[in-house]
């Protein structure tokens, strides 16, 4: 929970004032985004996906609008909601949707396409909602094919010029030794989340090629953390049966937005690989992100099940330092509002039951410094927050570790327990 310590240092006036100038600039960029939302469905039955496409009008000659170009896409496993965020808040857009029968993210002969008749011109901060796309049984198809999967071959910096949603990794290969998982980059995600997205760090990354014979284990880090925090647990994972997926996100964003992004990214992976089941393992604030994702997945997915959710040292009851930051800091980092005790986000994820059939195993930690005073903690989060009653009530079992908030991730007993829980669940 290093970010909490950074917050306290800043509160004491020891941090450079430029940090808060960075935060203000980043938030202005995020708030300048234009949002386009709606719902989409297909009237064709079967195991198929619905792909919503956002089309941007190119620049034509003599001020006349040019051709429509594919800007981004949103994937649904069934009828549901979609959302696009236009980063620069500019441009003229329209929407379409196609019925992806073979789930390959390509519009092909025999697959119907429907275009919305409305055209919207984005301005900074504008919101366009209530679009409703319904693909009929025999829709009229456009002659031009849309290669949605081709968006993934463009570099993140090319993609970010228009759309936030396309800046995330969707199963690209990487290594935990990469510089992007360093402490410095992870910390930048707290103070400079917009730049974190522009630099292409966010998303679900694979550490090895996808293997359909092994079950994915999705690891979700905490505030100011990175997937590298799970290095020990991943190295000691039973690799004969399981494969690690790691989610990386800028921890300064609203947790609801993070959970939304994770859900859409996993949906794209499910459509591509038809993953039947997977597990979620989350540390610290990642537990709040993970639970928000699980609840969203329950609503939007008709495919993959999540039998196992393991949370480690999660501040289910928030953190008082975040509350102090909201009340006293000149500029408020968005995530502090979600981490303040009793926040709306905490109430939303803890007030909704987990999916039937899922087992939530909750690990908590309680090792203090010799100079500590006040309520019991693990040198990062209080035990009381980790054991908030709404979270306890949905857990099938609690496990106490005499270890620090971060040290528990390198504890051999944690690794042993995780492999045991995975073996029992799959």
What pairing do the DSSP bridges indicate for beta strands 49-59 and 65-76?
antiparallel
Give CA–CA dist 276/104, Å, rounded.
17
Q: What is the pLDDT of residue 152?
A: 56
Token look-up 């495919």 returns: 303
Q: What is the pLDDT of residue 374?
A: 64
Give CA–CA dist 190/371, Å, rounded.
28
Token look-up 């289910």 returns: 316
Token look-up 């928000």 returns: 292
Residue 34 neighbours by CB distance under 10 Å? 22
Summarised one tens digit per residue, pLDDT across range 312-333 is: 999 999 999 899 889 988 888 9
Mean of pLDDT over the chain: 87
Give CA–CA dist 248/226, Å, rounded.
6
Instruction: Give 24's pLDDT tier (boundaries 50, 70, 90).
Output: confident
The predicted model gives 359-382 an average pLDDT of 85
H/E stretch holding 41: strand 34-42
The predicted model gives 270-290 an average pLDDT of 96
Summarised one tens digit per residue, pLDDT across range 147-181 is: 776 665 544 444 443 445 456 899 999 999 999 99
Residue 97 pLDDT more than 70?
A: yes
Q: What is the pLDDT of residue 3?
A: 45
Summarised one tens digit per residue, pLDDT across range 176-209 is: 999 999 999 999 999 999 899 888 899 999 999 9
Summarised one tens digit per residue, pLDDT across range 394-410 is: 999 999 999 999 999 99
The predicted model gives 93-120 an average pLDDT of 88
CA distances from 2 to 23, 76, 115, 121, 247 (A): 17, 36, 48, 42, 19
Give CA–CA dist 251/222, Å, rounded.
8
């Amino acid at each position: 929970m290093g970010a909490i310590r950074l917050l306290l240092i800043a509160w004491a006036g020891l941090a450079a004032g430029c940090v808060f100038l960075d935060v203000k600039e980043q938030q202005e960029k995020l708030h300048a985004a234009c949002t386009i939302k709606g719902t989409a469905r297909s009237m064709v039955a079967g195991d198929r996906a619905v792909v919503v496409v956002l089309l941007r009008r190119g620049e034509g000659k003599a001020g006349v609008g040019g051709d429509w170009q594919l800007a981004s896409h949103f994937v649904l496993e069934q009828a549901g909601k979609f959302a696009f965020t236009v980063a620069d808040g500019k441009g003229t857009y329209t929407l379409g949707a196609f019925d992806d029968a073979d789930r390959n993210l390509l519009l092909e002969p025999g697959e119907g396409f429907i275009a919305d008749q409305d055209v919207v011109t984005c301005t900074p901060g504008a919101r366009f909602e209530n679009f409703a796309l319904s693909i009929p049984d025999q829709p009229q198809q456009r002659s031009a094919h849309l290669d949605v999967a081709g968006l993934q071959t463009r570099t993140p910096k090319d993609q970010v010029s228009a759309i936030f949603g396309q800046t995330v990794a969707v199963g690209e290969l990487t290594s935990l030794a990469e510089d992007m998982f360093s402490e410095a980059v992870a910390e930048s995600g707290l103070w400079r989340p917009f730049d974190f997205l522009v630099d292409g760090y966010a998303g679900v990354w694979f550490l090895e090629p996808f293997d359909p014979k092994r079950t994915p284990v999705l690891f979700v880090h905490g505030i100011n953390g990175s997937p590298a925090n799970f290095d020990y647990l991943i190295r000691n994972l039973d690799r004969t049966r399981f494969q690690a997926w790691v989610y990386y996100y800028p921890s300064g964003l609203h947790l609801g937005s993070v959970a939304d992004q994770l859900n859409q990214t996993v949906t794209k992976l499910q459509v591509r690989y038809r993953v039947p089941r997977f597990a979620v393992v989350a540390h610290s604030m990642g537990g709040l992100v993970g639970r928000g994702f699980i609840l969203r997945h329950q609503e939007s997915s008709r495919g993959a099940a999540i039998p196992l959710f393991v949370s480690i040292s999660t501040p289910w009851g928030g953190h008082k330092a975040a509350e102090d930051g909201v009340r006293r800091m000149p500029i408020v980092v968005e995530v502090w509002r979600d981490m303040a005790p009793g926040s709306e986000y905490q109430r939303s994820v803890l007030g909704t039951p987990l999916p039937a059939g899922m087992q939530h195993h909750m690990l908590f930690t309680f090792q203090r410094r010799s100079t500590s005073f006040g309520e019991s903690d693990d040198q990062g989060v209080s035990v009381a927050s980790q054991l908030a009653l709404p979270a306890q009530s949905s857990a099938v079992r609690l496990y106490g570790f005499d270890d620090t908030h971060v040290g528990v991730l390198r504890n051999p007993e944690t690794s042993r327990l995780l492999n045991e829980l995975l073996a029992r669940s799959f």
